Amino acid sequence: MISAPHRLELSDLQAGMLRAFKLPVAAYVFARVDDRATARAWLREVQGDILTEERRRHGKPEWALNLAFSHAGLKAIGAPEVVLASFPEEFREGMAQRAERLGDAGPSSPAYWDEGLGTGDAHVFLSINASSEDLLGQRLDALRSGATGAGLTIVNEQRAAVLSSRRDHFGLSDGISDVAVEGSGIPMQPGQGVPRPRGRWRPVKAGEMVLGHRDEDGVLPPAPPGPLGRNATYLVYRKLFMDVPVFTEHIRRAAKALECDEELIVAKIIGRWRDGTPLVLSQERPDPALVSDPKRANDFRYASDPQGFACPVGSHIRRCYPRDTLGYGGKLAKRHRIIRRGMHYGPALPDPTEDDGQDRGLIFMCFQASISRQFETIQALWINDGNAFGLADDKDFLLGDGDGSDKMTIHGNPPRFIHPQPRFVTVKGGEYLFQPGITGLRALLEG
C-alpha cells in the first residue's frame, strides 16, 4: 500500500525558510525584554504581520516580518520552566558559550563580538525583508518606535542588502543551491534533496528542518511540549566579516606560486567557479549555460571523483555538503543538512586590493531541527577539522579559523598545496534562536 504524501502545515509556518523571500534589502533587530507584560502585548500585535509559508506560496511580498527568540528570551517573555528545561543543551547555552566547539577563537571570540550579541541580552529577534530601502526604512522606524514603547530595548541592529553584482564580497556567486523539503509543495530541482540510485533525488524529510514531523530516521525530532513543539524550527544567526584585500592578495600569491590561473585557485578552494559552475561538472572553465539551468546547476555527486582530482575533497562546498561520499554511500550526509538564508552587509569594495576600513561581510542564517547535529557538526567537524575527509587537521580554506599553520590540498599527481592559511572570515557575533510556528507563537504570547 502506498502511503499518502506528507504535507507540511504551511499556514502555521513562518515564511522565509522553505522559500527565500528574494527581496533586496533587510534589517535584523535584536531586543531585550525589560517589561514582560508590555512586551508580550506588543508582540501579540506584531505577530499579525508575520507572513506564513502558505501566503508566501501565492507570490513574493512587498515586505515580510519574522519573529524568533533566544533561550534567555523565551524565559524573559514568560515561557514555563517545564518548556525552558525541554530545550537541547546547545540552545540553552547559546552560541557564545559554544565558541570553543565552533572554533570561534582569537579575533572571532565572543569577547570581540558586536555590542548586544552573545551577552544574554538578545532576547527577541525581529527580521524585516523589503522590496526597497524606503519601505524597509518605514517598517524599521515603526518597529523601533513600537518596541521601545513596549518594554523592549534594542541591543543590536544590522542592515543588509543584495549587492549590485549579485555576488558576495569575494566575487563569488551565492545562493545557487537550496534544499527541497518533503511536504513543502515546492517543485524539486535535481541536487536539492537526497541522492537516490540511478541519478535520482528525493526531498529531505520534513523533520530535518521542522519540529513535529518525522526526520530521515523516521522519528520525531526532540521538541518542547505543547504547541511550541510543532511547526517550529531553530535559526542560527552569524555575522561574518569578510576580509576582501587579504583574500585577493592570497589568491594572487597562490596562483603565482603554483603557476596557474587565479580563477582556478578560487574554484579549487570553493568547489565552484566564481559564476557558480560546479568543478565536478566543468573542470576546465566556467559554463554559464550550465549554471543558469536549474535542472543542471546542482545535479552532481562526488562518488565518481573519490580522490578529489576534479573537485578537491577539502573544497568549501564539498565539506559543507559531501553528498554521496560520506559514510555508507552518503547516508550520513543527509542527517546534516541545513537551509541557508541570509544576506550581505556593507558596501562593495571598489578596489579589492585596498582596505578602506569599512565593515562588510555576510549575515549567515540557517534553519534546522537540531543545531548540534546539523549546524554545529558542519562547523566543528567539517569546516574546522579535516578528519572526516581524510585531511587530518586541515580546515576549510574559506571559512576555517586560519592562524597561518594550515593548508589547502589540491589533489593530483603530485598533489599541490596552498599555504599558509590566513583568516579570510571573522565572526563578529551570533545567536541561537527558536522560531515558533504561528500556533505556538500565539500560545507563548497569550499563555
Per-residue pLDDT reduced to its tens digit, 178-193? 999 999 999 999 999 9
pTM of the complete model: 0.97
Domain boundaries, the chain: 1-447
Q: What percentage of the chain carries pLDDT values higher than 90?
A: 91
Would the CA dihedral through 265, 271, 277, 279 be positive or negative? positive
Asked if residue 402 has pLDDT above 80, the reply is no
SS3 44: helix
Residue among 325, 323, 306 at smallest CA distance from 190: 323
CB 139 within 8 A of CB 23: no
Q: Are 32 and 123 in contact (CB under 8 A)?
A: yes
Taking alpha carbons only, the member of 56, 193, 75, 179 closest to residue 123 is 75
Q: Which residue is it, cell 579549487? A: 268
Q: What is the pLDDT of residues 106-126, one digit of tens each?
A: 999 999 999 999 999 999 999
- State pLDDT tens for residues 84-96: 999 999 999 999 9
Strand runs labelled E in 34-136:
63-69, 124-130
Q: pLDDT digits over 287-301, tens only? A: 999 999 999 999 999
Place 4 in a pLDDT band, splitting at 50, 70 and 90.
low
Rg (CA), the chain: 22
Among 316, 273, 265, smallest CA distance to 292 is for: 273
- CA 180, CA 201: separation in Å to the nearest integer? 10
The three cell numbers locating residue 122: 538578545
Strands (E), 22-62: 25-33
Least confidently predicted of 118-122, 371-375, 399-403 = 399-403
Count of C-beta atoms within a 10 Å radius of residue 2: 4
* pLDDT category of residue 393 using cuts at 50, 70 and 90: confident
Cα–Cα distance, 191 to 442 (Å, whole number): 36
Write out pLDDT tens, residues 35-90: 999 999 999 999 999 999 999 999 999 999 999 999 999 999 999 999 999 999 99
What is the pLDDT confidence band of residue 329, given thresholds at 50, 70 and 90? Answer: low
In 80-204, beta strands by DSSP E: 124-130, 152-161, 194-195, 201-202
* Cβ pair 176, 272 in contact under 8 A: yes
